[in-house]
Amino acid sequence: MHTNIQLHNNNAVKDCFLLLLLTAFIYLPFLGLPPWDGNEPLRVIIARDMLKTGDWIIPMLHGKPYFTKPPMMNWLIAGSGSLLGVVNEWTSRIPSVCMVFATALSIYFLTAKWLSREGRLFASLATVCMIGLIKKGRTAEIDTLFIFFVMFILLIWLNGYVRQWKPVLLWSIALSLVGLGFLAKGPQVIAYFYLTIFAYLLFRKRMSFFFSKEHLFGLLFFVLILGVYMFFVLQRISLEQYTNMWINQIVDRAESRTSFSFIGHLILYPLEGILSFMPWMLLTIPVVISRELRRQTRAFLSNELFVFSLVMIIVNFPLYWVLPNARFRYFLPAGPFAAIGIAFLFEMYLNEVKENPAIDRFVKGILVFSSVIALISTIGSITALFILKIRAPGSFTLYLLILLCSIILLGVYILHTKQDISLRRMPIWIAFTTGLLFITYSYIDSQFDASREHNPREIAKGISSTIPDDVGIIYELGYRRFLGITCYLNKDIIQEDEFSDLKSLGNGSDKVYFLFDTKYLETRESRKKALKEIVWEKVYSEFFENSRGEIVLGRLKKTPSGSTIGHGTGSNALLSTVLSR
């Protein structure tokens, strides 16, 4: 007995170490190379402000409170920056990588009652190496944190339910975690929890467990945690404003601009889901084409974890599928449960491979096909990059050469030894190949991004070099207009809503700098008029992107009377020049 426990512990340590190595291999290389993109600048700016002001409770974006998303991810980024000494691209993305690893570990240990060692390792590997999760796990966004909470809460509840914890303890722990999960992304965690639990208990005909006084008692813990957070929020805005903010976000997801866009969403959303859960969705093909294997899957309906995972996916998917503006990343918390479901299929394949060699041939075929595609893509990339090197010196780097050669060597090795690779080890090879391909893609993409003519990092450098060192504040006109640039500025950024707000800032000083984009001017005629009423000069400008036009850095000028308010002297011609470019 003691020997079995020791062997079990040794196997668990080996598997966890493998998961750690694979996570590090896929997520850490070139993690800090791409510039901040998407919502990353938003999280980073808020985290930096927390470190600077010491106020970790109320998120501040360019001088104004930001309540659109709760602050937990900002805390993690700020904590990482504080621990490692700086908030940059690498340190801001480390929390997401840690969340991916935490998700994999949680799956490995929380599914032990229902899956074998091979099945648990498969589910964890598939989660780490799922295309949709890799894309988000290499960013400083909140998605992997949210995925972790949804997975952890639901699996904790299922373990407690099946192991027959005291109901009051089960509901109290689960709903306390839901309260913490709210701080990650907001009310979506409540929807995931209750839709899944309600549907599961309805399927198991245990609705009395849902409508119980123990559940009601557990809600007190959720209300307590949420109440502490809301106490600080309501110091800045009213409950009505906060509620309306979330309602508006939901309504925005439900609006469809055209009937065609909604139909396109209905068609493309499931396809995007299949791609996001690749390459592991390919392992469902044998079940689809084999009647005998489909018959055997009926036995899974007696397994609580499989049923629970299936219910989670089925009841939550329609909610996002029918919302025209819902992105698939909102449904990514279902990824770990898809991996768990496929893990059951993998266990079945392991048991049936001797009786049905076609399963082994099919899975090896997936690996061989991936290797061939990788080899073809690599040879094509080398050819294309060789041509690009002539046109753009420096594009063909040593790192890229190492990556491409690694893919070629891996592909050749797999093709040469495919007969010796057992089905049990196949997921590791698939994960390793997928990870290497994604790392190479990420590196190439970051190189092309860095070579963009209007790179936000370079624009920020141009702005910083123009502003004197003794100027500590830059005023930004408009809300979240170009965070991809302001996140790289080493000055305090204060948001102003209108050009008229600048009139009171001058006070005879010629060191008031402000940023705006030309598209912002074009949204209202009154803004052009207000810009003409102040005396200013353009000190820097650069085209950014089509949706923003040109980024303009202006400086207020003193008039002979010492005021920055004038009658547009010298500004009309300047404004015409700005708008004509």
pLDDT digits (tens, 9 = 90+) for 331-389: 999 999 999 999 999 998 888 877 778 788 888 888 888 778 777 877 776 676 666 55
Q: Which residues neighbour 199 within 8 Å (Cβ) at sequence distance 6 or greater?
A: 311, 314, 315
Same structural domain, 425 and 508: no
pLDDT at residue 564 above 60?
no
How many CB atoms within 10 Å of residue 376? 11
415 pLDDT band (50/70/90 cuts)?
A: confident
The pLDDT of residue 549 is 83
The pLDDT of residue 38 is 87
**What DSSP letter does each residue of 506-529 carry, written as one string?**
-TT-S--EEEEEHHHHHT-HHHHH
The pLDDT of residue 569 is 43
The pLDDT of residue 561 is 55
Of 426, 450, 474, at which residue does a domain stop?
450
pLDDT at residue 427 above 50?
yes
Of 31-45, 285-299, 505-519, the one with minimum mean pLDDT is 505-519
The pLDDT of residue 490 is 87
Q: Alpha-carbon distance 189 to 80, whole Å?
A: 24
pLDDT at residue 546 above 90?
no
User: Is the residue at 359 inside a domain?
Assistant: no
The CA-to-CA distance between both ends of the chain, in Å, stands at 79
Same structural domain, 342 and 379: no
Same structural domain, 446 and 505: no
Closest CA to 555 of 516, 521, 518: 516
pLDDT at residue 393 above 70?
no
User: Is the residue at 357 inside a domain?
Assistant: no
Name which residue leads in pLDDT, 7 or 543: 543
Q: What is the mean pLDDT of the chain?
A: 85
Of 415, 430, 450, at which residue does a domain stop?
450
> Residue 541's beta-bridge partner residues?
552
The pLDDT of residue 390 is 46
3-state secondary structure of 393: coil
Q: Percentage of residues in the chain with pLDDT exceeding 70? A: 89
pLDDT at residue 48 above 50?
yes
Same structural domain, 189 and 287: yes
Q: Which of 162-171, 252-261, 411-420 is predicted most confidently?
A: 162-171
Closest CA to 56 of 39, 37, 71, 35: 71
pLDDT at residue 563 above 80?
no
> Residue 550's beta-bridge partner residues?
543
pLDDT at residue 568 above 50?
no
pLDDT at residue 17 above 90?
yes
Rounded mean pLDDT of 403-409? 84
User: Is the residue at 358 inside a domain?
Assistant: no
User: Is the residue at 382 inside a domain?
Assistant: yes
pLDDT at residue 304 above 60?
yes
570 pLDDT band (50/70/90 cuts)?
A: very low
pLDDT at residue 221 above 90?
yes
User: Is the residue at 273 inside a domain?
Assistant: yes
Same structural domain, 446 and 460: no
Question: Domain containing 424: what range?
Answer: 369-450
The pLDDT of residue 526 is 66
Q: Is 5 left (phi over 0), alpha (psi -120 to 50) or beta?
A: alpha
CA dihedral (511, 46, 98, 460) positive or negative: negative
Same structural domain, 165 and 104: yes
Same structural domain, 348 and 398: no
Of 102-116, 291-305, 307-321, 355-369, the one with minimum mean pLDDT is 355-369
Phi first, then psi, for residue 492 (nearest 5°) are -75, 135
The pLDDT of residue 543 is 85
Q: Percentage of residues in the chain with pLDDT exceeding 90? A: 39
The pLDDT of residue 325 is 79
Same structural domain, 445 and 503: no
The pLDDT of residue 1 is 52
Name which residue leads in pLDDT, 262 or 391: 262
User: Is the residue at 360 inside a domain?
Assistant: no
The pLDDT of residue 386 is 64
What are 56-113's pLDDT values in tens digits? 888 989 888 888 889 999 999 999 999 998 999 999 999 999 999 999 999 999 999 9
The pLDDT of residue 567 is 45
pLDDT at residue 248 above 70?
yes
Same structural domain, 115 and 163: yes
Q: Give me the number of domains the chain comprises.
A: 3
The pLDDT of residue 14 is 92
Same structural domain, 442 and 466: no
User: Is the residue at 89 inside a domain?
Assistant: yes
Same structural domain, 65 and 133: yes
Of 418, 450, 482, at which residue does a domain stop?
450
CA angle 331, 335, 341 (to 5 degrees): 130
Same structural domain, 328 and 375: no
User: Is the residue at 362 inside a domain?
Assistant: no
pLDDT at residue 307 above 60?
yes
What are 501-534's pLDDT values in tens digits? 777 775 656 688 888 888 887 767 766 676 777 7
